[in-house]
Amino acid sequence: MVEAQRSVAEELDRIAPVIEPLGQRFAEAGEELALVGGPVRDAMLGRHHTDLDLTTSARPEVTERLLRGWADAVWDIGRAFGTIGCRKGDYQIEITTYRSEAYDRDSRKPAVDFGDTLAGDLGRRDFTVNAMAVRVPGRTFEDPYRGVVDLAERVLRTPGTPEDSFSDDPLRMMRAARFAAQLGFAVDDGVVAAMTAMAERITIVSAERVRDELVKLVCAPYPRRGLALLVETGLAAHVLPELPALALERDEHHRHKDVYEHTLTVLEQTIDLEPRLPGGGPDFVARFAALMHDVGKPRTRRFVGDGTVTFHHHDVVGAKMTRKRMKALRFGNEVTDQVASLVELHLRFHGYGDGEWTDSAVRRYVRDAGDQLERLHVLTRADCTTRNRRKAERLRRTYDELEARIAHLSEQEELDAMRPDLDGHQIMELLGIPAGRDVGEAYRFLLELRLEHGPLGEERATEELRRWWASRT
């Protein structure tokens, strides 16, 4: 407790040049202002913020007027919810009027009512660790729901009953899983029970809000905690049903591994390998591809006569399922294409065997992976969860060899560019044809030659093109 108080004091000293003058400005106008929620919680955990959340007695129009002339920039995109945002130096600040909000039973949007007291505002917040505030100026600490105790005990509880909290905003059930993943906290048994009983209510929340929480959960330090909670409570059945479906019933002879546990292990191993990626992580595309890479298995599982089980084409089926789920969650086309491509390609390496791929096969592997090659390296390596050390080491060495061959060919051939030796203008000039379908077919013919044989040079490419064109006429 003493350490938490010290951390808060240090953080308040750090941000004092911003919040103290701002608090004084509101006080002189007869309004209350308090730092609230995540910044207070994280200050106690020794984490620093440049994004600050504050709450106030002032109505939005008053807040906006008080910020004008003080902030470097002001925006009111959240005005309907009582929030005015601004920038001051390196700080992004959001100030929200005291409020209470609740969903109508069938509504996707909260009905917002402004409140009059800080205590009332804190009471409508999602969890006690987010229901602490520091008044400014003056730095009076407010903790009516003993959030500091729950923070010390690393547990998530709601200020009131979880049933009331989740009725007010069902997305808070997703946030419980997200905070478990971000903070590594346990979730109170009563909260888990309410999530389980009310899981279906998440369906009234917009797909975009669910998506945003899912992205934060997947990119958190401990995503397995949050995902397991979603599955345990039944929330995953509504927001990501492909995940609980991976918990295939084991047959009595244990002829296949637990796909659900395997998937979570692949996710964790992907996280361990993220330093290999540009930026070093967290990388949502790589993590979500790990989460979805085997979702096609339940639909493709077949038991065969010799006592084995197969999942033929689960990569292709899984890619289609991934696209469908990400579309339902309103992900953009680019990130959907990236994840689905990785799911579809995740088995390709296993055709490499003991390194018998030709150079042309290696080129095709690189071409098909495109700009996802580095993520494909990570996913393929992470997908090895065998406990057989000898087998795991053999797979690692084989993939090391494949990466080395890719690097060697790239250095020799500028593999990343992967273009034919002649461009479209040269094709039209040599064949005497206008732009159109024939030019495209000729280009693809030359690209196949490039993939099969490597760089041909302009002279040989010209000969091959003329021979191909003659054979068509």
Same fold, 1-147 and 154-240: no
Instruction: Determine the residue type at 432.
Output: G
Residue 248 is predicted with a pLDDT of 65
- What's the average model confidence in pLDDT over 301-330? 88
Residue 445 is predicted with a pLDDT of 87
What is the 3 state secondary structure string of 20-44?
HHHHHHHHHCCCCEEEECHHHHHHH
- What's the average model confidence in pLDDT over 72-96? 92
Mean pLDDT across the chain? 88
Residue 130 is predicted with a pLDDT of 94
Percent above pLDDT 70 for the chain: 92
Residue 386 is predicted with a pLDDT of 81
Q: Was domain 154-240 assigned CATH 3.30.300.30?
A: no
Handedness of CA 434, 436, 437, 443 (dihedral sign): positive
Tokens 């089926």 locate to 317
CATH number corresponding to 1-147:
3.30.460.10
Confidence of residue 254 (pLDDT cuts 50, 70, 90): very low
Q: List the domain boundaries for the chain.
A: 1-147, 154-240, 266-413, 424-472
Taking the C-alpha atoms of residue 177 and residue 180, their distance in angstroms, rounded to an integer, is: 5
Instruction: Determine the residue type at 63.
Output: T
Q: Strand, coil or helix: what is 160?
A: coil
Q: What is the pLDDT of residues 101-140, one digit of tens each?
A: 555 555 555 566 788 899 999 998 999 999 999 999 989 9
Cis upstream peptide for 137 (omega within 30°)? yes
Residue 251 is predicted with a pLDDT of 43
Supply the DSSP string of 234-255, one letter for each residue. T-HHHH-TTTGGGSPPPPTT--
Q: Select the more confidently predicted residue: 239 or 310.
A: 239
- What's the average model confidence in pLDDT over 53-79? 93
Residue 110 is predicted with a pLDDT of 58
Q: Strand, coil or helix: what is 390?
A: helix
Residue 255 is predicted with a pLDDT of 47
Eight-class DSSP state of 294: T
Taking the C-alpha atoms of residue 200 and residue 130, their distance in angstroms, rounded to an integer, is: 25
Instruction: Determine the residue type at 81.
Output: F
- Report strand pairing: 133-135 vs 140-142: antiparallel
Residue 420 is predicted with a pLDDT of 82
Q: Are 53 and 74 in contact (CB under 8 A)?
A: no
What is the 3 state secondary structure string of 124-153?
CCCCHHHCCEEECCCCEEECCCCHHHHHHH
57: pLDDT strictly greater than 60: yes
Q: CB 224: neighbour CB atoms within 10 A?
A: 16
pTM: 0.81
371: pLDDT strictly greater than 70: yes
Instruction: Determine which of 21-35, 289-303, 355-369 has the lowest per-residue pLDDT on average.
Output: 355-369
